[in-house]
Structure 1
């Protein structure tokens, strides 16, 4: 049996949001939406990089302490 295909329209509305009668739904992201999303992604990447650098420094200190 082939996998069930889910149509994009089934996931187009955030939960709890109802479409008003007679109005069409516009799912097009604006430049602002894209910019906000990219800013959030870049912030998360920056946080992860900082955390990885701190972990690397801590591991280096532990390694040096074990050698002494």
Structure 2
């Protein structure tokens, strides 16, 4: 019985180590996911602003061409 109790205690310790590692990895994944989402939103805003700037420039060019015609 003492041997089984020792084995059980060892298994419980190993389980705790694995659960701690799992939690740590889940937190790390969550942090990286947040970083990626933030970067994705930042790039999306840059693209949208660039597209908007080009559209404004294209509109201005169209106005100039129309006025000169």
Q: TM-score range by the shorter chain?
A: 0.5 to 0.7
Measured in 2, the distance between the counterparts of 1:54 and 1:63 equals 14
Partner SS for 2:45? helix
Aligned residues, how many?
Answer: 42
Higher Rg of the two aligned structures: 2
C-alpha displacement of 1:30: 1.2
Aligned-residue Cα RMSD (Å) equals 1.7
1:40 matched to 2:43: no
Aligned residue number for residue 59 of structure 2:
60
Give the gaps of 5 or more residues in structure 1. Answer: 1-26
Measured in 1, the distance between the counterparts of 2:49 and 2:66 equals 26
Aligned residue number for residue 51 of structure 1:
50
Measured in 2, the distance between the counterparts of 1:30 and 1:67 equals 55
Structure with greater proportional helix content: 2
**Which aligned segments of 4 or more residues in structure 1 are displaced greater than 6 angstroms?**
none
C-alpha displacement of 1:61: 0.2
